[in-house]
Amino acid sequence: MATVTAESRPWPAPTASAPVTASVRLPGSKSMSARALILSALADGPSVIERPLRARDTELMSAGLRSLGVGVDTSDEEVWRVEPGALRGPARVDVGLAGTIMRFLPPVAALAEGVVEFDGDPHARKRPMGPIVAALRALGVTIDASATGGLPLTVRGSGLVEGGEAVIDASASSQFVSGLLLSAPRFTKGLTLRHEGPPVPSAPHLRMTTHMLRAAGAVVDESVPDVWVVEPGPLRGRTWVIEPDLSGAAPFFAAAVVTGGAVTLAGWPAESWQPVGQVIELLRAFGAEVTLDEAGLTVRGTGTLRGITADLSEVSELTPVFSALAALADGPSELRGVAHIRGHETDRLAALATELTKVGTGVTEFPDGLRIEPRPLHAAPSGGTVFETYADHRMAHAAAVIGLAVPGITLTDVACTSKTLPEFPELWAGLVARS
Ligand SMILES: O=C(O)C1=C[C@@H](OP(=O)(O)O)[C@@H](O)[C@H](O)C1
Ligand SMILES: C=C(OP(=O)(O)O)C(=O)O
């Protein structure tokens, strides 16, 4: 059932001729929307999701839940309604290229009665799944998976999951842990999950999972490092208010930094469940000024763009945008701690090394990161440079940021941004045109 993605759309990246200055209003966080959908589907009553992200990842998540018997009404742009139902197969779930779907939905399917098949885009079959499949099996679930343990896979649900204790190596993705925890209150014995292996990346995403579980009434203990205990018990239906997507905002903030402009993310809350502290610290290290007030979260370029040395493991999904900033900085950068992003939408370290080299950047690739040596950047003299996006929305963001400063960059495909922000090309072009 490997699916066909939206047709690719080559796109000349606009170059900025003046500082980019704007206030942007972005849709909700992908990660929060995904968790709200799962927790609402497993709750004991209806839920409302305010200001969700409407994008490929969340549309496919909604479709997957509907195919399992959950009522998900996404007809209103601003307010989605979820009506839990008896979970049942048979069903076929298209995960697209979404890690959140391929890791969060199989545990839900395990609670259903019947057969549920999962598959997705060609590259989805390459993304790591083995550890979560093994953990689900240890918890009493019957799953047929490919030889590598990944997609396509079939969950043969019996209507309940015994749960109990499991050990997992979640160094390849925090989503293995999040996926198991989100469904764990509905396991008969709950779940005690212990991670063994190199560090789990994306700690803020794990905290988002446990925050949101507690907000839905679950009892969760994470007092012991690398151990999560979820008691069996009901999840409450509730109203989720989704924060603007901080990761989606990153290229817009980068535009302010690169052009010496100012970009405000409107509607930013005073308290956030996204890793805003880490993002602010990194942007300041690059040389930006960052403020938070009633207008929102504002990033100002100062005319200085320094190279940085940083461990990006907590905000690994932003490696492409930070690498683009590093390529335009006034000194070298070393971005490490992100070996696992080789298993993201593409091998992001290899992809960044290849594409940044094409425009003249000096790049050294390490198993867990990149050293980036800025040099005068240029598109190819004849016909410009074609920047491959590898079906990866964040590679497209990185290319757009480079394009601000380097005329003649064409992305092979900007349609891949529909994964998390379908309006990206128009928003971006509008912003740069006003500069
Ligand atoms: O749980 C989530 O919503 C996410 C967790 C992270 O995954 P990894 O831990 O695999 O990096 C992040 O990169 C991804 O974009 C979203
Ligand atoms: C890694 C990412 O996505 P996914 O949820 O598909 O893992 C990402 O959005 O950068």
Reported as a single tens digit per residue, the pLDDT across 150-195 is 999 999 999 999 999 999 999 999 999 999 999 999 999 999 999 9
Q: Is 397 in the pocket of ligand 2 (CB under 6 A)?
A: no
Whole-prediction pTM: 0.97
Is the domain of 174 the same as that of 306?
A: no
Is the domain of 65 the same as that of 163?
A: yes
Q: What per-residue confidence (pLDDT) applies to 2?
A: 37
Reported as a single tens digit per residue, the pLDDT across 398-417 is 999 999 999 999 999 999 99
Is the domain of 310 the same as that of 392?
A: yes
Beta bridge partners of 263: 22, 299
Mean pLDDT of 302-312: 97
Residue 1 within any structural domain of the chain: no
Residue whose CA lies nearest to ligand 1 atom number 8:
173
384 — pLDDT class (breaks 50, 70, 90): confident
Residue whose CA lies nearest to ligand 1 atom number 13:
317
Q: What per-residue confidence (pLDDT) applies to 142?
A: 97
Residue 35 lies in domain: 30-241
The span from the CA of 216 to the CA of 203, in Å, is 20
CATH of the domain at 234: 3.65.10.10
- Cβ-proximal residues to 52 (8 Å cutoff; 6+ apart), any chain: 27, 28, 33, 36, 37, 58, 74, 80, 242
Is the domain of 133 the same as that of 267?
A: no
Is the domain of 203 the same as that of 315?
A: no
Pocket around ligand 1: residues whose beta carbon is below 6 Å from it? 31, 34, 99-100, 173-175, 178, 201-202, 205, 316-317, 340
- Residue 269 CB neighbours (<10 A): 14
Residue whose CA lies nearest to ligand 2 atom number 4:
99
Instruction: Give me the amino acid identity at 231.
Output: E
The tokens for 300 are: 């100002």
Reported as a single tens digit per residue, the pLDDT across 253-297 is 999 999 999 999 999 999 999 999 999 999 999 999 999 999 999
Last residue of a domain, which of 241, 274, 290? Answer: 241
Is the domain of 112 the same as that of 258?
A: no
Query: Among 175, 279, 322, 420, which is best to mutate for testing ligand 1, by the most ligand atoms less than 8 A from CB?
Result: 175
Last residue of a domain, which of 214, 241, 268? Answer: 241
Last residue of a domain, which of 241, 270, 301? Answer: 241
Q: What per-residue confidence (pLDDT) applies to 159?
A: 95
Is the domain of 333 the same as that of 393?
A: yes
Query: Among 202, 206, 338, 392, which is best to mutate for testing ligand 1, by the most ligand atoms less than 8 A from CB?
Result: 202
Instruction: Give me the amino acid identity at 250.
Output: A
- Cβ-proximal residues to 120 (8 Å cutoff; 6+ apart), any chain: 2, 3, 94, 95, 96, 97, 98, 101, 102, 151
- Residue 88 CB neighbours (<10 A): 17
The span from the CA of 161 to the CA of 187, in Å, is 5
Residue 263 within any structural domain of the chain: yes
In 3D space, the residue among 208, 251, 245, 214 whose CA is nearest the CA of residue 229 turns out to be 214
Residue 3 within any structural domain of the chain: no
- Cβ-proximal residues to 173 (8 Å cutoff; 6+ apart), any chain: 99, 103, 128, 201, 202, 340, 343
- Residue 154 has φ and ψ, to the nearest 5°, of -125, 125
Residue 4 within any structural domain of the chain: no
Is the domain of 360 the same as that of 300?
A: yes
Residue 5 within any structural domain of the chain: no
319 — pLDDT class (breaks 50, 70, 90): very high
Is the domain of 270 the same as that of 145?
A: no
Ligand 1 atom with minimal separation from the 201 CA: 9
Q: How many domains does the chain have?
A: 2
Residue 2 within any structural domain of the chain: no
Q: Are 232 and 190 in contact (CB under 8 A)?
A: yes
How are beta strands 227-230 and 239-241 bridged, if at all? unpaired
Q: What per-residue confidence (pLDDT) applies to 8?
A: 85
Is the domain of 215 the same as that of 248?
A: no
Q: Is 317 a catalytic residue?
A: yes
Residue 259 within any structural domain of the chain: yes
Q: State yes or no: 323 annotated in a binding site.
A: no
CA angle (197, 202, 203) in 5-degree steps: 85
Q: Are 114 and 157 in contact (CB under 8 A)?
A: yes
381 — pLDDT class (breaks 50, 70, 90): confident
Is the domain of 261 the same as that of 188?
A: no
Is the domain of 288 the same as that of 422?
A: yes
Residue 329 within any structural domain of the chain: yes
298 — pLDDT class (breaks 50, 70, 90): very high
